[in-house]
Structures are given as C-alpha cells and as structure tokens.
Structure 1
Amino acid sequence: MARSHRSTKPPKSASHAPTPLGQVRIIGGEFRGRKLPVRQAEGLRPTSDRVKETVFNWLQYEVPRATCLDAFAGSGALGFEALSRGADQVFFLELDAANAQQLKQNLHTLKTDKAQIVQTNSLTWLNAQPATAFDIIFLDPPFHQDLMQPAIDLIFAQNWLKNNHAWLYLEQEKALDWPKLPEGWVCHREKTTSQVRFGLFKREQAPSL
C-alpha cells in the first residue's frame, strides 16, 4: 500500500473524525434499488449482492408473511432484504452500539414498522426463553470467532425455530465444515464463493405412510 505524503496541517482529533460509510443495496421487493449506508468497521462484512440474490431466490416463496431473525446483524443486509420481500416481522440483533444505531436510522429511512433493532449480544439473547418462534433465522456471525456452533446450539436448545417448515440460513468461512445440527436437519441447498460458504437448512420431512 502506498504511503501518503505527510501533511503540514495538524491531524484532526480521532474523536471528531467521522466514521466512513459504505452501503448495501436492496436487490428485490418493495425497496428494490434502495441503498442504505453501512459503517466501515472492523469485522463488519455485509453479505454480497450475489449471495443475497441466490439466497432469496431459494426463499422466494418462504419470506412473504414470515417472521425472521437476523442474528449478528451487522449491516442488516439479510434482514432488510427480507423486509423488502414481504416478511411480516424481522428482529435484528447487533452488539455494537454504533452499528445498531445505523440499523435504526436505516429502518427509519425505509419507513416501516415491521422490524425491531435490539442492541445485544446475540448469544445472550438466544439463551433466553423465546417469546416467539421464527420461520426463518439468518446466521452470519463474524468470521474467526467460533460463534456459529454456540448460536446453533442455543437456537435448538431454546426452540427458536417453528417446528414445521422453518428454515435456517448459515453463512461462514469457505474452508470450514458445516456445524453440527440436530438429527433430522439437512442441508437443502448450498453454494460457495471465493471466501464464503453459505447454505439453507431445513428439517427433513418424514416419509408419508
């Protein structure tokens, strides 16, 4: 990386320097084409448009009227896409206060009351007794922090997924094996990119007699 020339002006105080913003684009549904600002913070890795398009093609008949959870929400790319495509309710869980505030601002921009932003540790939240169960849960935790398996264990221990026709989306490092899921849960579809492995899981239906 090339070094910049030293400026003769005194540097701005870090506390006053604005955090640079990136953006995520909603690619389908009611808010199609809308671009939402995202903080460019360490570890914040929005799901790419290519991956989102694939995932929501898989879920095109499941998202409308669904209740969804976007755990480890980060940029909220998955949850906002679900909202745009007709989800009845989306819960966003985000630990970082500044990221959570940005999610709230983006929700205000979209002028929808079908979502709730919760600033919390996702594992702590999942360890509680659920007030509601979800049709779809999106799990895309920060990479290299070993958060996927603990989150999955809590989801099934506390029964966060509806028993019938629930879906679990997982996004993780490409090189990793899939985490362990309870017996009867199978990978419905999966793909990889240069860095990411992502898949959609569901409960295997018992054969009819």
Structure 2
Amino acid sequence: MKHQAGSPPQEVRILGGQWKRSKLPVADRPGLRPTPSRVRETLFNWLGQDLTGWRVIDAFAGTGALGFEAASRGAHEALLLEQDPALAAQLQAVRTRLKAETVRVQRGDGLAALRAAAGQGWNAVFLDPPFDATALFEPALRAAAAAIGPEGFVYLEAPRPWSEAELAALGLALHRHGRAGAVAFHLLRPLAG
C-alpha cells in the first residue's frame, strides 16, 4: 500500500547486517518521523558497516530504525529509549521477532536516561527527537556528549543545521553533516581538549 505524499511510510527496512531487509512498522503517531533510508545509509557509511562490540543508545527510538540498524551491524548493546507506551511495546515486539538479544527496550524519558548514562563511555548516541520538541535538543546534546567515550559519536537529526559554535558550547564538534529535505543531519565528536 502506497502512502500519501507528506505522510509517513507504514514501514521502513533495515538496510544492512544480519537483519538486512527486515521490516520495521511505523505507527501513525504525531511527531513520529523515521530516519529516511538514504540518511541512514549515509550515517552507517560514515560510522562503518561493522559495529562489532559497539554500545549505542537510540534516545528517542520511535520505530527503532537507528538502534536496530546498529544492532544488525554487530553492536554488542543497543539501548532503545521510548516514552510512548504503544511505541515501546512495538519496539519490544520487533526485538522478539528478530530475536535481537543485544537490543534492550526501555520505556521512559529518553533525556533522563541519557543523563543517567553520563560517564559510561558509549560508542554512539542517536538523537532524533520530535522536531516540534525544540526544548529537548540542547539538553539532549549536552547529555549525549557526557554519555559517549572520547572516541564516541553523537548523531543528531534536527529541523535546522546546528552551527559549530552552538555545538562547541555543548562540548561537541561537527564531524560530518548533510541535508535531506526537511532533515538536517549531523555526526558529532567530543570536542578535543
């Protein structure tokens, strides 16, 4: 079934790894906007196809596309955080269907969980909050910067590009960035020194 132009797709597919081509359902929820396939493909080209041993957090998981994609490519631990109870249940159902032992679904406040992860040295934190939740972006970036290790990455999807000065104030440096339609995407590293 085709979706109307401007409406979200009803499913997305995992692009690589052991669950390549597996479908992830997309619920009809306000603000739910799965990361477009071409953006995910670019992101995982930047990060590398093999994430064996990585620990990642998908902080506003939604469909779980970023977290499941990382786990499919070998991430040792993928923590999917989602506040919406129906979406969290859907993530758990996908985890069960894929027999994704390295994926953990946690229902609750993504920002609070990120703050609790400070100093834990995660390899990557994926931030794709609802675009209308603008107040979340700055504290989520600050918390993500504290959660990753010195060689870690923070991935951010936002409705606008973030400047190097804005990111530096949060302890992050722009590593790579791009734009796809209304989505500005950024791969960030900890600010050196």
TM-score if structure 2 supplies the norm length? Answer: 0.86
How many residues align? The count is 182
Tell me if 1:150 matches 2:139: yes
Partner residue in 2 for 1:120: 108
Deviation at 1:161, TM superposition (A): 1.0
Seen in structure 2, the aligned counterparts of structure 1 residues 205 and 154 have a Cα distance that, compared at 3 Å, is closer
Q: Among residues 33, 49, 56, which one is paired with 2:21 in the alignment?
A: 33
- Indicate how the Cα distance of structure 1 residues 84 and 101 shifts in structure 2: closer, same or farther if over 3 A, else same: same
Letter in 1 for 2:46: W
Distance change >3 Å, CA 107–CA 129, structure 1 → 2: closer
Report matched runs for 1:170-185 at 5 Å: 170-174=156-160, 176-178=161-163, 179-182=166-169, 185=172
Partner of 1:9: none
Check conservation: 1:38, 1:102, Cα contact below 8 A.
no
1:47 correspondence with 2:35: yes
Q: Tell me how far 1:29 sits from its aligned partner.
A: 0.8
1:38-74 C-alpha deviation (Å, 9 max, x unpaired): 2121111000101000000001167221000000111
* 1:73-129 C-alpha deviation (Å, 9 max, x unpaired): 111110010011111100011000000000000011111210111100112222336
2:100 is paired with a residue whose SS is: coil
Question: Judging changes above 3 Å, is the alpha-carbon distance between structure 1 residues 27 and 202 closer, same or farther for their aligned structure 2 residues?
Answer: same
* Alignment check: 8 A CA contact 2:119 2:149 kept: no
Q: Name 1:188's counterpart in structure 2.
A: 175
For structure 2, the 5+ residue unaligned runs are 1-8
Q: Name segments (4+ residues, structure 1) moved above 6 Å.
A: none
- CA offset digits 1:143-179 (Å, max 9, x no partner): 02111101122334xx31112x1111111003x4344
Q: CA deviation at 1:183?
A: 7.1
Maintained 8 Å contact 2:119/2:148: no
By percentage of residues, which structure has more helix? 2
Q: Does 2:147 correspond to 1:160?
A: yes
Query: What secondary structure does 1:141 align onto?
Result: coil
Other structure's SS at 2:129 match: coil
Equivalent residue in structure 2 for 1:69, among 35, 57, 61: 57
Residue identity in the other structure for 1:104: Q
Deviation of 1:204 after TM superposition, in Å, equals: 5.2
Looking at CA atoms only, which structure, 1 or 2, has the larger radius of gyration? Answer: 1
Assess, with a 3 A threshold, how the Cα gap between structure 1 residues 184 and 177 changes in structure 2: closer, same or farther.
closer
Q: Which runs of 5+ in 1 are unaligned?
A: 1-20
CA deviation after TM superposition for structure 1 residue 131, in Å: 8.0
- What is the identity, as a one-letter code, of the residue corresponding to 1:101? A
TM-score normalised to structure 1 length: 0.80
Could you tell me how far apart the structure 2 residues matched to 1:130 and 1:203 are? 13
Percent of pairs with identical residues:
37
What do you get for the CA RMSD once the two structures are aligned?
Answer: 2.1
